[in-house]
A and B are shown apart, each in its own frame.
Chain A
Amino acid sequence: MREGRDAREERRRRWIDRWAHRVIFLLSLTAIVTIVLIFIFIFREALPILTDPEIQREASLRHFFHPMEGPDLASRYMWQPVALVPKYSLIPLILGTLKTTLVALGIAAPLAVAAALYTSEFAPSRIRELIKPAIELLAGIPSVVLGFFALIVLATWMHRLFGFETRLNAITAGTALALALIPIIYTVSEDALNAVPQSLREASLALGATRWQTATRVVLPAALPGVFASLVLGFGRAVGETMIVLMASGNAAITSWRFTDSVRTLAATIAAELGEVVFGSPHYHVLFFIGALLFVVTFAVNSAGVYIIHRVQRRLRGEV
């Protein structure tokens, strides 16, 4: 009798276990399926650019990257999707994205890595406990607020300070963008620096190295994979960030090498134009093509980052 009840109980438990397993699997599958479906949707909407001859007459890879007739750089590569004769050169948008990203990373990377090095290696614990949450709080500011601040306050300051020709330009947008990158780069770098074993610091100091030498020659190199990962994440955010650049860049798709010209980024273009585009038009498909391009670029950079991190880590562990 007792054995029978135990067996039934056992069976019931196994049944619950199996179904719990299935339900959880299904739930996690939903997340993956959703992401995959989004990708499929974006790439499907971008595909006519490569396949549909009707669309290709107006917008094709040739239009995107090939120069037109024109007296100067700006007129050879133009983004004018709603002109009488639409022009779909992606060059000004790519250049604009690169310029803001470069400025943003150029400001945020040294600041954030130096701040991380300071809090992990030099700051007394009281100061660290002040700085760390303050920088992490910066990540919590909505990017529309950062954009607004850049548009109203930062742009005016920088305009007065540097005397730019145009108030909103790649430098202003990049500086505002840097505010969004700093917490990302800082947090990941700081974690990487803190993960360096204390025994390495002790070994260095015991040899008569100063704290500065210990920080720059032992701790930082040992944390390099993590610091590099933080920069890759920062790059991904800079390329994908939309609201800040939409508000602070001037949004003029000008092809030029000057950082003081207004710029328009890939992400901002999608945000600004997709709401008013004619469904199914070449312009519509071009915007999806840009989305696919952004996805491919960030995916490629992240993958390359992960690959390099693995290689550096293996080298540090001595497995090469």
Chain B
Amino acid sequence: MVKFDTIRETTREPARAPDLQTTSLPVKVQVERFSFYYGAVRVLHEITLSFPRNQVTALIGPSGCGKTTLLRAINRMNDLIPDTRAEGRILLDGENIYDPQVDVVRLRRRVGMVFQRSNPFPKTIFENVAYGLRVNGLVRNRRELQERVEESLRQAALWDEVKDRLHESALALSGGQQQRLCIARALAVRPEVLLLDEPASALDPIATEKIEELIAELKRHYTIIIVTHNMQQAARVSDYTAFLWMGHLVEFNQTEKLFTVPREKLTEDYLTGRFG
């Protein structure tokens, strides 16, 4: 509670969720008074936030602010960490994903994820992309499988680079190619939401640029939520930005507005590099 008082002092007025009505965008993921605990430590404090459909929303904030935890809450990846607890609701198309009846496996098919460090399976390039299709039984025959793999690799802008060596190990690819392969793998099961956890943090500038172009391309079909602590990247790729600080949502707005005329002093301080 001490922490919360600090934030009040610095921000002059209480943090609030923006009014999405003004943008008239349909909401894909709605976070409502969501809190998260590692053991007794509360790392997210009653976050309320709407992620608009077919838009790119960036989560920014200093290390340890809870942005990755929030991201991983949306496909319930945090369930894997023992001794954690969630409070509040996260609605996907109006349905609470923390409802006990929810099938987590099905949820994760609808909400795909790309991780900070590329993590291709030690299988061939083809098998990496085919994996999600196989385990979910999404294709009926070999031809359909091949079509979906090609389609996914094209979407991830990787097809031309790998089409002649689909049956070689994915681990022989470069770092940037591996990360795009992971995106292709996530796209193959045709998720509705795509979670990206600092997808370019381990990549060189050219590979990063490719990933960013890709994100802009993908938002036509997917709702994208991206965690980054690179503020230029957030400004470049996202339509909306949420700024988190010590587990609190400080400000959420259209990226352009948040970066040019931040409402909160804390946001301004962070953006101008006074901390973080």
Contact = CB atoms under 8 A, between A and B. Distances in A.
B122 interface: yes
Interface stretch (B5-13, B33-41, B102-110, B223-231): B102-110
Contact of B113 (A206, A222, A316, A320): A206
B170 A210 contact: no
A218 interface: yes
A209 B112 CA distance: 12
Nearest to A210: B105
B236 to A, nearest CB: 25
Contact of A205 (B77, B117, B189): B77
A206 B108 contact: yes
A302 B168 CA distance: 29
Given A206-B112, A208-B105, A222 B122 contact: yes
| Size class of the contact patch on chain B | 20 to 34
Nearest to A218: B121
B132 interface: yes
A32 B276 CA distance: 58
A227 to B, nearest CB: 14
Given A202-B115, A222-B121, A207 B106 contact: no
B115 A316 contact: no
B254 interface: no
B119 interface: yes
A206 to B, nearest CB: 4
Contact of B122 (A202, A208, A210, A221): A221
B124 to A, nearest CB: 9
A273 B169 CA distance: 54
| Size class of the contact patch on chain A | 20 to 34
Interface in B57-82: 75, 77, 80, 82
Given A203-B182, A318-B172, A319-B172, A209 B119 contact: no
- In this complex, the member of B106, B112, B169, B170 whose beta carbon has the largest number of chain A beta carbons within 10 angstroms is B169
Given A199-B115, A200-B121, A206 B75 contact: yes
A218 B185 CA distance: 14
A209 B80 CA distance: 14
A315 interface: yes
Contact of A207 (B80, B108, B120, B123): B108
Contacts of A320: 169
Contacts of B169: 315-318, 320
Nearest to B168: A318
A212 to B, nearest CB: 10
Contacts of B136: 207-209
Contacts of A203: 115, 119-121, 182, 185
B171 interface: yes
B98 interface: no
A202 B168 CA distance: 23
A140 interface: no
Contact of A208 (B80, B82, B106, B173): B106
B180 to A, nearest CB: 14
Contacts of A34: none
A210 B135 contact: yes
B171 A316 contact: yes
A211 to B, nearest CB: 9
Contacts of A166: none
B27 interface: no
A207 B119 contact: no
A34 to B, nearest CB: 41
Interface in A264-287: none
A207 B115 contact: no
A209 B171 contact: no
Contacts of A210: 105, 135
A217 interface: yes
A80 to B, nearest CB: 54
B189 A207 contact: yes
B109 A208 contact: yes
B211 interface: no
21 contacts: A199-B117, A200-B119, A200-B121, A202-B119, A203-B115, A206-B75, A206-B113, A207-B131, A207-B185, A207-B186, A209-B135, A217-B134, A218-B121, A218-B131, A315-B169, A316-B122, A316-B169, A316-B171, A317-B169, A318-B172, A320-B169
Interface of B: 75, 77, 80, 82, 105-106, 108-109, 112-113, 115, 117, 119-123, 131-132, 134-136, 168-173, 182, 185-186, 189
A-B pairs with lowest CB-CB distance, top 6: A208-B109, A318-B169, A318-B171, A318-B172, A207-B132, A199-B119
